[in-house]
């Protein structure tokens, strides 16, 4: 292998206990990119570092790191590691020993509980460390790529995030496609095999030629030939001294090609040396044997420490002067003078590994200004000064702006949406379809209700034209026997509302209601017309007053079990009475005496033209706009929550964050792309409401649309917050469904708030859609503008909710990231 570590000046790794690093000059001038500076022999690294060279000697250094998840078993314990610049550092260890955790702390996705990590001399997350950002290329363990994108689109996305120019992206793409033997760049990632996807994932980490390449198991599922070429490329990258690679792998032997191997076990670093040094030290030919030996030694050491602890504790706790140990089964039992006094096991105690290692850092590393090449054994080559900048290195000098990142996110979101065109059409039309369903199914009066009629007066209900009676004057004072007021009344009942059934007796009519055949019956007394005329003074040979009153009274017996039907029937009977008296006055003008006409009793109310709405405002006009708001809150809530969780689960979220995309940018990108969909959804639904169902919008339609979009954004923001608490999409959807009905019901979307208990009304005003619903109704049905006291609170409360959701989502995200 031809890299700096093969150079004799770079003797193999330092032992953890070395306190000083000796400096030697680079004996040959192999590397023509580098300018050398003379150094005197035997200077310590501290001398060199602080006197002649600004940049740090470690790409990454970890000191005294402790990490556990949810205060459980420690994953990293007193962990020390140093990754020199310009080296390949292989992290080996059994599954679950903490490699991925360590790397995620290095790239800033997770935070240590205790200890320090410095990347290029600075804490991850600070601007100077360049992490997250373009100085690092991160390939997570999961594939973490968007299946909907083509290879080229995926590379474009990360290229844009890193601020690369178009030609740079294409140059890099053609190199990576060739080098990683990728399928055509126009192939969709989703259609690739597992191995091909992994290679695309490597390409995404390499696209911008980062200074620090962090690869978590890049060679899993990759064929041996390609594995070899990946390693060759990594070696080539570090040979120039410009790139540092940290790699984890379970193929222990491939780590021979690295400069330093770190062997981990149970969250600690057991060894950190060059492969050659390890092979010589352990006198074996396979690295695998060393890993096995170290793991066994570690197990023994832990056991010994545990025994020591048992001894010490026993001595102090029980005041023993001496103890002897004897084995009982596999446990160590403490005895004094042959007596078992107790058993006690404690943690293995502090691991001294690397305690004395020296770490020298500088905060001043700038891209392209040079690095100090230091060998793992403590010897140091000359500080490397300004190097020539190659085209590829130029990439490193690019800076991506927030606009570029946002553009990259928007393009990516747009492509993904377009690739799911079926789903897009579904979500585009679904609110409109729901509105259509609401308008078709809710709000119209019940029709064709079966109504029994007991009428001793002769009405030929079966005759085709019997309803024409309603067009004539029902009273003939010259031939009273021809007057049939009951028929006149019945003919004025709305035709579509009732199917009239002639009943022979009260008993039969009641039975038919009880059996569920009819919804009620109407009964006219014998001589109804005659008694009514007596009442109005149109007849003189009348019975007693009480008999007249009873004989002019229509009896109704109804099935009120269905409130909606019962109330509608009652309303229709009252309306029909008013209509009948009105019709008598119109139809009988000039045909009967004015004195009789003026006695025909009206309802004792005069309803003037409604101030807002119509006489017959349909319930759907109350319901449809508010349910539309509810839906446009609910769908974005689900879609943003699910999208965020999908990104989180697939690892693309972490990858984007490490690439330098902020949480706010990420959510903002999603929000902007969703606003387009929201506009389409709302616009189409309003079109259906106004053009198909003729619901009149008296106020400003743009105001109504703006409120709908705001409510949609509020739903989307709520979705982000929801996603912070859910690890699975199904959880988020179930939670969202759980909030759907309470929101719809409590926000007064289906029933007026005034119908609720007063206490519940106060609760209702705390919900995100309540005031917005009131605003919407005021805009649509009353034509009020933004300045009205019933309109602006809806806008204000929705804006306030958006802010609350965002602040909470970002805060929870930050807190969760510290776990
Ligand atoms: N998010 C998490 N919450 C709780 N425990 C976790 C989480 N992530 C990892 N762990 C635990 O931390 C330990 C170390 O996991 P980590 O993924 O870092 O190991 P690893 O060495 O990378 O394993 P592998 O080689 O199998 O990828 C494991 O016991 C794992 O179960």
d(C-alpha 432, C-alpha 496), whole Å: 29
Please give the pLDDT value at position 312: 67
Does 651 lie in the same domain as 528? Answer: no
Does 641 lie in the same domain as 543? Answer: no
Residues spanned by the domain of 321: 302-342
Is 55 a domain residue? no
Other Cβ atoms less than 10 A from the Cβ of 797: the count is 22
Query: Residue 426: exposed, middle, or buried by beta-carbon count in 10 A (0-12, 13-18, 19+)?
Result: exposed
The DSSP H or E segment spanning 49 is helix 45-52
Is 415 a domain residue? yes
Look at residue 381 and give its three-state secondary structure. Answer: strand
Pairing of strands 136-139, 212-216: parallel
Report the nearest-CA residue for atom 27 of ligand 1. 95
Is 120 a domain residue? no
- Distance of CA 181 to CAs 138, 198, 213, 472, Å? 20, 12, 20, 93
d(C-alpha 817, C-alpha 811), whole Å: 10
Report the nearest-CA residue for atom 25 of ligand 1. 95
Is 198 a domain residue? yes
Backbone φ and ψ of 75, nearest 5°: -95, -40
Other Cβ atoms less than 10 A from the Cβ of 772: the count is 27
Does 553 lie in the same domain as 466? Answer: yes
CB 658 within 8 Å of CB 144: no
Does 463 lie in the same domain as 585? Answer: yes
Q: Establish whether residue 98 lines the binding site of ligand 1, counting it when its CB lies within 6 angstroms of any ligand atom.
A: yes
Q: Please state whether the peptide bond connecting residue 132 to the residue before it is cis, i.e. omega within 30 degrees of 0.
A: yes
| Long-range contacts of 275-282, Cβ-Cβ distance < 8 Å, separation of 24 or more | 276/12, 277/12, 277/13, 277/377
CB 400 within 8 Å of CB 162: yes
Please give the pLDDT value at position 737: 92
d(C-alpha 301, C-alpha 296), whole Å: 9
Other Cβ atoms less than 10 A from the Cβ of 207: the count is 26
Does 493 lie in the same domain as 635? Answer: no
Low-confidence ranges of the chain (pLDDT < 50): 1-55, 314, 318, 320, 324-397, 819
CB 274 within 8 Å of CB 18: no
Q: Establish whether residue 706 lines the binding site of ligand 1, counting it when its CB lies within 6 angstroms of any ligand atom.
A: no
Does 642 lie in the same domain as 539? Answer: no
Q: Which residues contact 807 (CB under 8 A, 6 or more apart)?
A: none
Please give the pLDDT value at position 385: 29
Does 622 lie in the same domain as 476? Answer: no
Look at residue 722 and give its three-state secondary structure. Answer: helix
Does 312 lie in the same domain as 181? Answer: no
The DSSP H or E segment spanning 459 is none
Nearest residue to 633 (alpha-carbon basis) of 814, 434, 441: 434
Is 273 a domain residue? no
d(C-alpha 431, C-alpha 421), whole Å: 17
Helix axes 224-239, 194-206, angle to 10 degrees: 10
Does 795 lie in the same domain as 679? Answer: yes
Backbone φ and ψ of 505, nearest 5°: -150, 160
Domain boundary residue among 555, 572, 599? 599
Is 129 a domain residue? no
Cα 815 to ligand 1 centroid, rounded to whole Å: 19
The DSSP H or E segment spanning 819 is none
Is 195 a domain residue? yes
Q: Would the CA dihedral through 740, 742, 744, 750 be positive or negative?
A: positive
Q: Which of 71, 92, 97 to mutate to test the pocket of ligand 1 (most atoms within 8 A of CB)?
A: 97
Please give the pLDDT value at position 529: 87
Give me the number of domains the chain comprises. Answer: 4
Other Cβ atoms less than 10 A from the Cβ of 66: the count is 15
d(C-alpha 569, C-alpha 636), whole Å: 41
Is 158 a domain residue? yes
Cα 216 to ligand 1 centroid, rounded to whole Å: 13
CB 214 within 8 Å of CB 132: no
Does 418 lie in the same domain as 533? Answer: no
Does 777 lie in the same domain as 706? Answer: yes
Cα 225 to ligand 1 centroid, rounded to whole Å: 30
Does 563 lie in the same domain as 472? Answer: yes
Q: Establish whether residue 92 lines the binding site of ligand 1, counting it when its CB lies within 6 angstroms of any ligand atom.
A: no
One-letter-per-residue 3-state SS of 117-163: EEECCECCCCCCCCCCCCCEEEECCCCCCCCCCEHHHHHHHHHHHCC
How far apart, in Å, do the first and last CA atoms of the chain sit? 40
DSSP 75: E
Q: Which of 67, 74, 91, 100 to mutate to test the pocket of ligand 1 (most atoms within 8 A of CB)?
A: 100
Other Cβ atoms less than 10 A from the Cβ of 741: the count is 11
Please give the pLDDT value at position 398: 52
d(C-alpha 767, C-alpha 798), whole Å: 10
Look at residue 644 and give its three-state secondary structure. Answer: helix
């Amino acid at each position: 292998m031809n890299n700096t570590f093969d150079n004799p000046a770079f003797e193999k790794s330092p032992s953890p206990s070395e306190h000083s690093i000796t400096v030697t000059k680079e004996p040959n001038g192999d590397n023509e990119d580098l300018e050398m500076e003379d150094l005197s022999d035997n200077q310590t690294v501290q001398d060199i570092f602080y006197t002649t060279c600004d940049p740090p000697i470690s790409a990454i250094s970890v000191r005294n790191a402790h990490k556990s998840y949810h205060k459980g078993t420690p994953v990293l314990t007193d962990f020390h590691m140093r990754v020199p610049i310009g080296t390949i550092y292989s992290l080996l260890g059994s599954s679950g020993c903490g490699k991925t955790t360590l790397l995620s702390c290095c790239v800033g996705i997770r935070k240590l509980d205790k200890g320090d990590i410095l990347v290029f001399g600075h804490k991850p997350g600070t601007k100077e460390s360049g992490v997250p950002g373009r100085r690092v290329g991160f390939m997570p363990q999961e594939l973490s790529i968007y299946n909907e994108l083509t290879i080229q689109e995926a590379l474009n996305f990360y290229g844009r995030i890193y601020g690369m120019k178009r030609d740079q992206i294409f140059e890099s793409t053609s190199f990576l496609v060739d080098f990683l033997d990728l399928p055509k760049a126009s192939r969709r990632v989703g259609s690739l095999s597992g191995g091909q996807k992994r290679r695309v994932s490597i390409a995404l980490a390499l696209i911008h030629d980062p200074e620090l390449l962090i690869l978590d198991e890049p060679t899993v599922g990759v064929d041996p030939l390609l594995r070899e070429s990946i390693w060759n490329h990594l070696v080539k990258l570090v040979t120039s001294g410009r790139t540092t690679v940290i790699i984890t792998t379970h193929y222990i032997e491939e780590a021979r090609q690295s400069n330093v191997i770190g062997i981990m076990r149970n969250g600690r670093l057991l060894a950190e040396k060059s492969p050659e040094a390890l092979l010589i030290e352990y006198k074996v030919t396979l690295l695998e044997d060393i890993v096995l030996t170290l793991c066994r030694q570690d197990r023994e050491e832990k056991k010994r420490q545990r025994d020591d602890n048992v001894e010490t504790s026993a001595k102090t706790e029980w005041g023993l002067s001496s103890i002897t140990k004897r084995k009982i089964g596999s446990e160590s039992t403490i005895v004094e003078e042959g007596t078992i006094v107790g058993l006690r096991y404690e943690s293995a105690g502090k691991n001294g590994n690397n305690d004395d290692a020296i770490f020298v850092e500088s905060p001043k590393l700038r891209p392209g200004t040079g690095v100090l090449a230091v060998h793992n054994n403590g010897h140091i080559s000359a500080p490397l000064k300004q190097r020539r900048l190659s085209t590829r290195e130029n990439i490193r000098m690019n800076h991506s702006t927030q606009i570029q990142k946002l553009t990259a996110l928007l393009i990516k979101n747009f492509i993904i949406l377009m690739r799911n065109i079926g789903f897009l059409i579904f979500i585009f039309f679904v609110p409109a379809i729901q509105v259509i369903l609401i308008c078709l199914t809710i709000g119209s009066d019940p029709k064709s209700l079966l109504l029994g009629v007991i009428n001793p007066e002769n009405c030929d209900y079966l005759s085709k034209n019997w309803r024409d009676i309603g067009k004539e004057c029902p009273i003939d004072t010259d031939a009273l026997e021809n007057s049939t007021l009951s028929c006149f009344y019945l003919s004025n009942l709305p035709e579509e509302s009732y199917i009239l059934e002639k009943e022979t007796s009260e008993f039969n009519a009641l039975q038919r209601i009880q059996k569920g055949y009819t919804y009620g019956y109407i009964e006219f007394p014998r001589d109804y017309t005659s008694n009514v005329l007596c009442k109005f003074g149109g007849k003189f040979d009348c019975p007693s007053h009480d008999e007249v009153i009873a004989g002019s009274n229509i009896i109704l017996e109804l099935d009120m079990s269905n409130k909606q039907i019962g109330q509608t029937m009652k309303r229709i009977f009252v309306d029909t009475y008013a209509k009948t008296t009105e019709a008598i006055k119109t139809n009988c003008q000039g045909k009967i005496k004015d004195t009789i006409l003026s006695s025909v009793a009206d309802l004792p109310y005069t309803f003037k033209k409604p101030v807002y709405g119509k006489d017959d405002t349909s319930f759907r006009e109350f319901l449809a706009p508010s349910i539309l708001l509810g839906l446009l809150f609910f769908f974005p809530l689900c879609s943003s929550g699910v999208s965020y969780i999908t990104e989180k689960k697939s690892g693309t979220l972490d990858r984007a964050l490490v690439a330098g995309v902020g949480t706010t940018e990420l959510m903002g990108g999603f929000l902007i792309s969703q606003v387009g969909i929201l506009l389409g959804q709302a616009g189409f639904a309003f079109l259906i409401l106004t053009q198909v169902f003729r619901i009149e919008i008296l106020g400003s339609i743009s105001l109504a649309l703006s409120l709908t979009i705001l409510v949609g954004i509020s739903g989307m923001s709520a979705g982000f917050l929801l996603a912070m608490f859910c690890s699975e999409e199904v959880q988020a959807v179930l939670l969202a469904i759980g909030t759907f009905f309470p929101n719809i019901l409590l926000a007064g979307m289906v029933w007026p708030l005034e119908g609720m208990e007063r206490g519940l009304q106060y609760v209702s005003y705390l919900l995100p859609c309540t005031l917005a619903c009131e605003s919407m109704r005021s805009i649509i049905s009353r034509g009020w503008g933004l300045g009205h006291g019933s309109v602006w609170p809806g806008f204000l409360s929705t804006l306030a909710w958006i802010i609350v959701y965002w602040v909470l989502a970002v805060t929870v995200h930050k807190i969760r990231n510290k776990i």
